[in-house]
Structure 1
Amino acid sequence: MPRPRPYDTEAAFAGELNGVRPELSAPYAAALPGARAAVLTRLWRALGHEPLPWIAGREVSSDGLTVLLRDGRRLRGPCADPYATDAYVTEVLLEGRPYTRPEALVRALGVPHGGSFAAELAHSTASSALSRADRAPGGPGAGADSGEWERRIVDGHPYHPCCRARPGFSVAEQFAYGPEHRPEVRLGLVAVRDALVSGAWPAWLRDGERTLIPVHPWQAAHVLDAEVRPGFAAQPLMSLRTLAVPDGPHVKTALSTRLTSSVRDISAYSVRTAQTVSAFLADLVERLGLPLRVTRTLGAAGAGTPDLAAVLREPPDAHAGPGERCVPVAALPLTGLPGRPGWSAAFARLALGTGLRLLEAGVALEAHGQNLLVVLDASDTPVRLVYRDLADIRLGPDRLARHGVPVPRLSGRIVTDDESALRRKLFGSLVAGALGAVTGSAAALAEALENAAPDLPRTADLRALLDEPLPAKALTVMRLSPGTPGDQWTLLPQPRCGPRPL
């Protein structure tokens, strides 16, 4: 009996697209090869650098990389630059057979949990092509706020193979809710009696004794079993579940679907601690005199379940002064600024100097390109940073105590004195993530680090940053290990040969 053909997500998207936006059918088809290469490049990075249990070894030569599988088969492709963001991998050879579609390669590998991973890769490819086909023409105007820059990002996470995967979202729902498609989203409201609330929950989100919790319309349609009232309009940001209210706060909703690595929601722990963490970090930054601003948590509310909660934050643009603009770090490549001589080194000096001083004091930021924004002056010089979304920072009580900083009353995953965990959090997000993506290659990252290094604070953390392999989340290992909770890690080579002088 012939084997059934695997489900073709690209073709399914094309069929749906023809029904809802037929004018984009041809641009979508034209965007597919580039989208496949973008996802395949991210997958090849993982195959070249992550500790996948079914890989026996790797052989690097002047003309490429060979990955040796434990079953004796061989994969062949270009050298895998762990910091590259260009889509430079258009095909990978498995036992001499070429593969251009990442999901087809994973199916051919036949690895544990590969079926669901292959489906997400296919969704990532098709969604990326959809985003590219509907790309906004031109660039944001001179007065563009940070949200406009976020809505220009079409390719998602710079290193995750599931960079644009949105399982459970139809094509119509992608157009309705995806920030790159520039929709207006009407959030709903669920009235909750005896809600868990921290901070100052505003009067316009109360109905007598009941708390009105904003909910994402996808959540209302697919997850919640509750009466949802009409709410208010907002514009989605790059995290999809966070939206900007015009002339109001940013609203983080509990959109409990899988986006890249994990299913997102808002736990009761996050609701309880949001205000405390926000106030603590803002006060510490001011005490240290750092060129960093924290978007304060205004309030958080939940119904005691992770799929019905919301957090209100101040918008990051509040921290840009006259003549300045606030740009998400993930959008910096779109500005063209990293290509200017010395600009990336200036940004690295600002970001690393700030991150290392906080780390020395006992706070490790998860400073990836989505959480971190940079304020640029009128000449586009980076002058300060803005940090948002405090749910995944880490606090080291021992380090804080050594610096005479009162430790807030917190427990759980946010608190740790494990030096490796603190360094992983900052280095993995800021260097192997944000700075790598801004510079775009190992060579460019090495140049930025070497130019910035002489001006960075001389700490033990700096020596570890510049001399040891760089930690990065093992994003593909995590997707292929559904029974293992939490982050898993790999070590990437330093983007240069030999130690840097300190």
Structure 2
Amino acid sequence: MHRPSRPEAEFAAELGAVRPDLSAPYADALPGARAAVLSRLWRALAYEPLAWVARRERGRDGLALRLRDGRRLHGPHADPYATTAYATEVRLDGRPYDHPARLMEDLAVAHGSAFAAELDNSVVSLALSRAGQATFGEPAESATSLGWEQRVVDGHPYHPNCRSRPGFSVAEQLAYAPEHRPAVELGLMPAEDCLVTGEWPKWLRDGERVLIPVHPWQAAHVLDGPVQEGFAAHPLMSLRTLALPDGPHVKTALSARLTSSVRDISVYSVETAETVSAFMEKVTERLDLPLHVTRTLGAASANAPDLAAVLREPPDAYAAPGERVVPVAALPLTALPEHPGRLAEFTRLVLTVGLRLLEAGVALEAHGQNLLVVLDHVGAPVRLVYRDLADIRVSPARLARHGIPVPALSGRIVTDDETTLRRKLFGSLVGGTLGATAGSTAALREALEKVVRDLPGTPDLPALLEQPLPTKALTLMRLSPGTPGDSWTQLPNPLAVPGSATLSF
């Protein structure tokens, strides 16, 4: 029998105090949560360029990692696009491990202990998410995008920190996390010296002062000063972005490390918000794509990343009668992945839009949170909706070649580097969106084979179809806290012939 880790026991004790009715479902969910996080970690160990892994050997009985210190780590074959919890146990020099945090501790690599703590947190938070979700019934197929977002329980499909929420107590997770379906009371903090772009509404002003919506976790743990009573809103997948009833979506600053990143809002994002939004509206209209981009209505910052907010259009505004808008992360919960024709239609739609935009000079970060799909009355994908423009990339050279006016932008969003542009789109769209929707290499290959002849013949197409596919090395990034920016690795292309049995980095 598995011996609970200290975080699991502490979490259980706190849960018993605040929601004893969830104690038994939480305990029942722990084994599955361990396997889900361990499977994500095993995928990373199998494919990321980790300096302490000497080589990888694939055999009939699974995958073996030869470590540089001479030890041997063995587990199941690692499908880079699988979303099932297939790694229930791995063995380090013959010793079995079913808990990702204990494995990471005993690997004894640099920064491994800190990462192990995050893995422990990911397991207990995931178990709580699954336990809480079990108390809700199935939503109607006509649910709004918010209803679908609340059903995404497991978080990032490939990140071992899929549900890591360090700094959040059990009570705070129940009060603020979307899968528990709370109403969150946002506060308002007055800001005298405030940067504002776009139209900041009157109901968020107090005379000359701007009132910035503040998440209650941020108010309790980060900010100093009085916070006025605000309004209730419903949290979305990103947790720090919330939907107002019959109103805009509010993106708040949340200075906690969720998954990999601290979720504050940079001054740069506020400075560029209006320009980027207007630019994307013009580009999509010019290219006549089946794509809507939710407009940024206004952005405000007290010239600090921990006190800022952005107002955006809700994606449901782009659904016609009889249609529904579903975040891509929720597509595995619909009937679409089980319908080979629909999965191919979705693949054709997102790749066509992504490739045409990339050719024109815009690389979307089209992962499961940012990208939504409009389904018609029979569940067929017909259009896309994209939200949150803070991390797209814009190529002035490509825009100029297509006669598209270059926006007045500078900083990280602007680049002509081909590798950076392709990584941004392919890493999020194929390694994330399509892989997670298909759920396996075989299903992804089948969908791609059905649409490959229909894709626009852009200069980026051969890289998509013939080369290994880039994806963020998420575990390497957590084990390299002193390295700024993203780290990358490459996944086998589902359309390519499988490589040799031994890989070295």
CA distance in 1, matches of 2:395, 2:197: 23
Q: How does 1:233-312 map to 2 (within 5 A)?
A: 233-312=232-311
User: Deviation at 1:337?
Assistant: 1.4
Residue 143 (structure 1) shift:
3.2
Aligned to 2:503: none
**In 2, Cα distance between equivalents of 1:484 and 1:264:** 18
Map 1:368-387 to 2 at 5 A: 368-387=367-386
Map Cα deviations across residues 321-360 of structure 1 (whole Å, 9 max, x no partner): 1110000000000112111131111000000000000000
1:218 aligned partner:
217
CA distance in structure 2 between the partners assigned to 1:415 and 1:461 by the alignment? 18
Deviation at 1:496, TM superposition (A): 3.7
Alignment-mate amino acid for residue 19 of structure 1 = A
Q: CA deviation at 1:63?
A: 1.9
Which aligned pairs between 1:26-105 and structure 2 lie closer than 5 A?
26-105=24-103
2:338 aligned partner? 339
Is 1:435–2:434 an aligned residue pair?
yes
State the Cα distance separating 1:142 from its structure 2 match.
3.8
- Larger mean Cα displacement after TM superposition, 445-454 or 31-40: 445-454
User: C-alpha offsets along residues 355-406 of structure 1, whole Å, 9 cap, x if unaligned?
Assistant: 0000000000000011000001111110000000000000001000000000
Match of 1:22 in 2: 20
Moved more, 17-26 or 135-144: 135-144
Q: Which amino acid aligns with 1:34?
A: G
Q: Deviations over 1:437-459 (max 9, x none)?
A: 00000111111111111110011
Give the match's secondary structure for 2:460. Answer: helix
2-side partners of 1:8 and 1:450: how far apart?
Answer: 48
Shift of 1:137: 3.2
1:120 aligns to 2:118 (yes or no): yes
Residues 398-422 of structure 1 show CA distances to partners (whole Å, capped at 9, x for unaligned) of: 0000000000010000000000000
Does the 8 Å contact 2:466/2:496 carry over to 1?
Answer: no
* Separation in structure 2 between the aligned mates of residue 384 and residue 407 of structure 1, nearest angstrom: 26
What is aligned with 1:205? Answer: 204
1:283 CA drift (Å): 1.0
1:470 corresponding residue in structure 2: 469
Closer, same or farther in 2 for the Cα pair 1:295/1:308, shift >3 Å?
Answer: same
Aligned identity (percent) is: 72
- 1:498 positional shift: 3.4
Kindly report the root-mean-square deviation, in angstroms, between the aligned alpha carbons of the 2 structures.
1.2
Asked which structure has the greater RCO (Cα within 8 Å, sep 6+), the reply is 2
For residues 216 and 383 of structure 1, the distance between their equivalents in structure 2, rounded to whole angstroms, comes to 35
Cα distance in structure 1, aligned partners of 2:102 and 2:458: 47
Matched position secondary structure for 1:80? coil
TM-score normalised by L of structure 2: 0.97
Shift of 1:214: 0.2
Is residue 361–residue 394 contact of structure 2 (8 Å, CA) maintained in 1?
Answer: yes
d(CA) in 2 for partners of 1:11 and 1:150? 29
- State the distance in 1 between where 2:227 and 2:46 align: 47
1:131–1:155 Cα contact (<8 Å) kept? yes
- Seen in structure 2, the aligned counterparts of structure 1 residues 299 and 485 have a Cα distance that, compared at 3 Å, is same
Alignment partner, residue 417 of structure 1: 416
C-alpha contact 1:442 1:496 (8 A) present in aligned 2: no
SS of 1:129 mapped into structure 2: helix
Q: Distance in 2 between matches of 1:79 and 1:341?
A: 25
Task: Give how far 1:460 is off.
Answer: 1.8
Partners of 1:52 and 1:32 in 2: CA distance: 28
* Residues 94-243 of structure 1 aligned to structure 2 (within 5 Å): 94-135=92-133, 136-243=135-242
Contact 1:153 1:180 in 2 (8 A): yes
SS at match of 2:174: helix
Q: Quick one: distance in 2 between partners of 1:453 and 1:142?
A: 30
What amino acid is the match of 1:95?
A: D
Matched-pair contact (CA < 8 Å) for 2:340–2:447: no
2 CA distance for matches of 1:345 and 1:25?
41
| Partner Cα distance (1:51, 1:495) in 2 | 20
Tell me how far apart the structure 2 counterparts of residues 383 and 342 of structure 1 sit (CA, whole Å). 13
Question: SS at 2:406's partner residue?
Answer: coil
Q: CA offset at residue 282 of structure 1?
A: 1.2
Q: d(CA) in 2 for partners of 1:92 and 1:346?
A: 37
Match of 2:237, SS? coil
Residues in 2 aligned to 1:446 and 1:6: alpha-carbon distance in whole angstroms:
39
Normalising to structure 1: TM-score of the pair?
A: 0.97
Question: Quick one: distance in 1 between partners of 2:399 and 2:337?
Answer: 34
Q: Structure 2: where are the runs of 5+ without partners?
A: 499-505
Whole-angstrom CA distance in 1 between matches of 2:121 and 2:213: 28
Kept in 2: contact 1:349–1:452 (CA 8 A)? yes
Give SS of 2:340's match.
coil
* 1:12-69 CA distance string (max 9 Å, x none): 1100010011111111111000000000000000000000111111001122000111
**Runs (5+) with no aligned partner, structure 1:** none
Distance in 2 between the 1:387 and 1:48 partners? 32
Paired residue total:
495
Change (3 A) 1:7 1:26: closer
Q: Report if the CA contact (8 A) 1:443-1:496 is conserved.
A: no
**Which stretch shifts more, 287-296 or 337-346?**
337-346
Deviation at 1:270, TM superposition (A): 0.4
**Counterpart Cα distance in 2 of 1:94 and 1:197:** 54
CA distance in 2 between counterparts of 1:57 and 1:11 reads 37
Give the AA of the match of 1:378: H
Residue deviations 1:288-319 (CA, integer Å, cap 9, x gap): 00000000000000000100000000000000
How far apart, CA to CA, are the structure 1 residues paired with 2:369 and 2:451?
22
1:323–1:377 contact (8 Å) kept in structure 2: yes
Structure 2 letter corresponding to 1:93: R
Question: In the aligned structure 1, how far is the partner of 2:220 from the partner of 2:403?
Answer: 49
Judge conservation of contact 1:166–1:259 (CA < 8 Å) in 2: yes
Quick one: distance in 2 between partners of 1:66 and 1:241?
A: 40
